[in-house]
Amino acid sequence: MGKDYYNILGVDKNADEEALKKAYKKLALKWHPDRHQNDTDKETAEKKFKEINEAYEVLSDKDKRTIYDTYGEEGLKGSGPPPSGFSGGAFPGGFPGGTTFRFSTGSGFSPSDPNSVFSQFFSRFGEEDDFASFPGFSSSFGKSSSRGRDLNDFFGRGVNKGGANEISYHLSLTLEDLYKGITKKLKVSRKIYDAPSGRYVNVDKILDISVRPGLKAGTKFRFPKSGDELPSGETQDVVVIVDEKPHPTFTRDGDDLRVSITLSLLEALTESRKTIKTLDERTLAISSSSIIKPGQEQRFQNEGMPTKDGRKGDLIVKYSVVFPTKLSEEQKRLLKGALG
C-alpha cells in the first residue's frame, strides 16, 4: 500500500493550489526539525517533515499529481508491479500535457531534498517571516546552519546563509537608487542570551546602510557582531549584499548604461529623433541625420552611472531597424526610382 499524500497533508483529493499551500505551510512549519532539536520528537519530526515535503512536491505538480492519482505511489516511483494490462515501456496514451512516464523497477520520481522544497516554497511565496522564530535554519537536512529570515518588503526575498559566524541578507535596489545613492535602515531581530533567565531572547538592532551613487550590485556591507549570539559564545556578523532590480529601459554595463531604440526603415534611412527619460528624470534627446544600420551603436558621454572619482560613464544606444512586411507595386516603383 503506497503513501496517501492527500492524507499526509490533510486535504481532500479535489484540493486546489491555495488549499495545498495553506496545508503545507502549516505542517512544514510545525514539523521542521529545527523546531525539535532538543526534544524527544526529533526523529518523528524528521520523518514527518520528509513526508510532508514529498507529498507537497507531488501534489503541487500537475503532471506528477496526474500520475499519482492514476497509479499511486508505486506507479509514480516505478517501484512495484506495473498496472494491470501493462507490459513495459511508456504508459499507454501518455498523460495530459504530453508527459511521458516510463515504468521500470527502481526508476521514476525521486523526492527532492526536503529543505530544498521548503526553502523554495517560502522564497517563492515570500513568507520567510514565518520561520523567524527558528533557533537555526538547516542548509542540509539534519545539519544546523545559520538562520534564514526575511527582513521586510524593501529588503527583498532570499536570505543567504554564510558560515556559522555570519548571516547574509539581500538588499534589492532599483537602478535609480544606485544612480542617485540612498540610505536605508535595516531592523535586525537578534537572539541574545539572557543570563538571569537562562534563555535566548529577541532584541532588535537598527543598522544604517549608506549606498553611494554608482555603487555596483554585489557590494557587501558587513556589520560585525550584529547577528545572533551562538552557544559557542561568538556573535554572528550581519552581511548585506546589494542586488540590482531589472530596469524596464536601461541595462547596466559596468559604469556605462545601455538602451535599445527601435527605428522604422524610413527613420533609419533619413532622420531619427527620439527622447529618453534619464535616471535622474531629465529628458535626453537622441537624434541622428546619418543613415543608421541595424545593430549600430551610438555613444553619449557622461550619461552613464556615477563613478567613485565623481565622473560618469557613457550611455550606449543600440539601434534596431524594423523593415516593412510588404510593399505595394507603387511603393516599389518609387523606391527603385529613388535608390536605383
Q: What is the pLDDT of residue 248?
A: 93
pLDDT score for 37: 65
Q: Is 115 or 206 the better-scoring residue by pLDDT?
A: 206
Domains of the chain (ranges; CATH) run 5-83+90-115 (1.10.287.110), 146-244 (2.60.260.20), 251-339 (2.60.260.20)
List C-alpha distances in Å: 113 to 55, 110, 118.
Answer: 12, 10, 9
Do 178 and 157 form a contact (C-beta atoms < 8 A)? no
What's the pLDDT at 206? 92
Q: What is the pLDDT of residues 241-274, one digit of tens each?
A: 999 999 999 999 999 999 999 999 999 999 889 9
User: pLDDT per residue over 182-237, tens digit each?
Assistant: 999 888 888 888 888 778 888 999 999 999 999 999 999 999 999 888 877 788 99
Q: At CA 217, angle to CA 212 and CA 223, rounded to 5?
A: 65
DSSP string covering 281-325, please? S-EEEEEE-S---TT-EEEETT-S-B-TTS-B--EEEEEEEEPPS
Quote the pLDDT of residue 322: 93
Using pLDDT thresholds of 50, 70 and 90, give the confidence band for residue 124: low
- Indicate the SS3 state at residue 149: coil
Q: What is the value of pTM for the model shown? A: 0.51
166-173 and 237-244 strand pairing: parallel
Predicted local confidence at residue 109, as pLDDT:
78
Residues 149 and 155: beta-carbon distance below 8 Å: no
Mean pLDDT of 294-312: 94
Q: What is the pLDDT of residues 35-93, one digit of tens each?
A: 776 666 778 888 999 999 999 999 998 888 988 888 888 878 765 544 444 444 444 44
Answer with the residue of higher pLDDT: 327 or 100.
327
Give per-residue pLDDT as tens, 30-51.
888 877 766 667 788 889 999 9
CA neighbor of 307 nearest in space, from 217, 213, 218: 213
pLDDT for position 1: 56
| Residue 322 φ then ψ, to 5° | -95, 120
1-16 pLDDT tens trace: 588 999 999 999 999 9
